[in-house]
Amino acid sequence: MKQKQSWKPYLWLLPSILLISVFVIFPIVIVFRLSFSEISKSGVVGGFVGLKNYVEAVHLPAFGIVMKNTFWWVISVVGLSTLIGFIIALALNQKFRGRKIARSILIFPWATSLVIQASVWNYIIKYEYGSLNNTLLNLGVIREAINWRASYQIEFIWECACGIFVTIPFVAFCVLAGMQSIDESLYESATVDGAGFFSKLFRITLPLVMPSLTVSTVLNIIYVFNSFPIIFTMTKGAPANKTDTMITFLYMLSFYDRKKGPANALSVIGFLILCFCAGIYMLTMLRKEEDL
């Protein structure tokens, strides 16, 4: 009976496949084609040049530092937002007065456009007239205005912090949802057995929250890797690409430096890196879930 229906599922998938194919896969194909083509500075597409763009991209002086930044950007934003989000979810999972208000507040950063978030943070940490200095000075916490962006390393840390700030709610709510589905009786029997806070955390909470955390983490990695507005608004990668991640770098490369061929080659390289990471994830996850 099942075999007769074998074409039916595909009918159900068709609208989705069509939508993705046309509006995502087709542009991807174009990017692949462009990465092997000669492209003039103003964007006129020429003929096939083989791997020239790739070679050029890898040999860009900023390539190394950009890869390093991208690595730290993804690791720190995803890692810390997961950690902090988890801790916040633990706190919000307790019963206390004002819990509803606290949860509503936590949603704010999620519901705000990244461009807006980035502009606000950019204003907050301005040295000369920024809000952070204003608030701290007027509250008497500091004596003189502090240069919050004294070096590019510090600016990059701010950018990561902003990325973490906007990512936390997503993680916290995924974890919170996972925690709420855990049966109370599990904790109660553990308490009877004399388990402490941490043993309950590691024996019950973590394993049961894991599945929702893993999926959200993969989506997170993709979103964070591809995140553009924070860095572009706050530093534009200055000085000299030292705060660029791959996405902002290839945008600058394409539209400021006008090296459009290498920019497209870099896009493909980034795509391959993500594919590799997601591939590993899918292999491990799908093996676990044979009957998907």
Residues 216-245 that bind other proteins (CB under 8 A): 216, 218-219, 222, 225-229, 235-242
d(CA 19, CA 135) in angstroms, rounded, equals 48
Kindly state whether residue 280 participates in binding other proteins, applying the rule CB under 8 A.
Answer: no
Q: Is 42 in the site for other proteins (CB under 8 A)?
A: yes
Map the footprint of other proteins across residues 240-279, applying CB under 8 A.
240-242, 247, 250-252, 254-258, 260, 264, 267, 270-271, 274-275, 278
Residue 25, interface with other proteins (CB under 8 A)?
yes
For position 214 contacting other proteins by CB under 8 A, the verdict is yes
Distance (Å, whole) CA 242 – CA 81: 23
Rule CB under 8 A: say whether 67 interacts with other proteins: no
Q: Which of 66, 67, 74, 106 binds other proteins (CB under 8 A)?
A: 106
CB nearer to other proteins: pick between 26 and 202: 26
Number of residues that bind other proteins (CB under 8 A): 135
Tokens for 206, please give them.
Answer: 């973590």
Cα–Cα distance between 124 and 145 in angstroms, integer? 12
- The total of other beta-carbon atoms located within 10 Å of residue 182's CB is 15
Among 4, 23, 50, 198, binds other proteins (CB under 8 A): 23
Per-residue tokens: 193: 């057995």
Task: Please give the backbone phi and psi of residue 280, each rounded to the nearest 5 degrees, phi first.
Answer: -60, -45
Going through the chain in order, the beta strands assigned E by DSSP cover: 37-39, 45-48
Shortest Cβ distance from residue 40 to other proteins (Å)?
Answer: 5
Neighbouring C-beta atoms of residue 105, cutoff 10 Å: 11
Least distance CB 173 / other proteins (angstroms): 6
User: Do the Cβ atoms of 283 and 51 come closer than 8 Å?
Assistant: no
Binding positions for other proteins, 111-170, rule CB under 8 A: 111-117, 119-121, 123-124, 127-129, 131, 133-135, 137-141, 143, 145, 147, 149-150, 152, 155, 165
d(CA 252, CA 250): 5
